[in-house]
Amino acid sequence: MKNEKSFIIKFSLDNGLSPDRNSIKRILSDMEGMYLDNSKLKEMLNSGDIVVYEFYDLGMPENPGELAYGTTILYPGKVGNEYFMTKGHFHAKIDTAEIYYCIKGHGYLLMENPEGEVEFQEMKPGLSVYVPPRFAHRSINIDNNEPLIMFFAFRADAGHDYKTIETKGFRKLIIERDGKPEIIDNPKWKQ
């Protein structure tokens, strides 16, 4: 059933939070196997299971013609020398594009298609990135002090394919080396 009426949802352009919706939280234990140094992740879990990121789905039911939109708040931190990141996903309808707009923070959007093309786009406040169809995408927060907050929008019936990334990973990673972000090959990537 399509939405036949307009509606208003509040969310803050300062912190990405919405008083009208509950966020979906991804905690450190949800990210097991996603980072290069999984033993460091397990060591960190001994000190507590913290929120790595949360997102607000402010959009619509998953119907053709509708738009899903919301905010992602990716907190600062690292597992070993690898920055906190979102799990990343393809869309179940792989021909779906997505838009990201950076509200706050500093990071990268990592994108990769099944044919092996990889792109990185730097995210700073006021910049938007168009993620082309067929590209998996992941956000990476390279700021050690503040969250990376982004607004996103995509077709509501696109769905999410997290399993491919959970199984294979991305071909590239961003780590911190000598106080700066560095792009490296992912030795754990599986063909």
Q: What is the 3 state secondary structure string of 93-133?
A: CCCCCEEEEEEECCEEEEEECCCCCEEEEEECCCCEEEECC
Which tokens in the block code for residue 9? 């949802």
Q: Report phi then psi at 170, rounded to 5.
A: -100, 155
Query: Could you state, in order of their start, the residue ranges of all structural domains in the chain?
Result: 24-185
pLDDT tens across 84-119, in order? 999 999 999 999 999 999 999 999 999 999 999 999
Give which of 125, 128, 76, 130 is closest to 104, Cα–Cα. 125
Q: Count the neighbouring beta carbons within 10 Å of the beta carbon of residue 23.
A: 18
CB 135 within 8 A of CB 2: no
Site of tokens 């899903």: 68
CA torsion through residues 166, 127, 82, 46, sign: negative
What residues pair up with 123 in beta bridges, in sequence order?
107
Helix, coil or strand: residue 154: strand
Decide if pLDDT at 3 tops 90.
Answer: no
Hey, what amino acid is at 66? E
16 compared with 125, residue with greater pLDDT = 125
Contact (Cβ atoms closer than 8 angstroms) between residue 181 and residue 142: yes
Per-residue confidence band for 63, with pLDDT thresholds at 50, 70 and 90: confident
Class of domain 24-185: mainly beta
For CA atoms 104, 74, 173, 92, give the dihedral sign. negative
**Which of the four pLDDT bands, split at 50, 70 and 90, describes residue 26?**
very high
- Single out the residue of 148, 140, 71 nearest to residue 104, CA to CA: 148
Q: Which DSSP category does 22 fall into?
A: P
Give the model's confidence band at 20: pLDDT under 50 very low, under 70 low, under 90 confident, else very high.
confident
Q: What is the largest CA-CA distance in the chain?
A: 54
pLDDT recorded at residue 7:
79
pLDDT band at 59 (very low <50, low <70, confident <90, very high): low
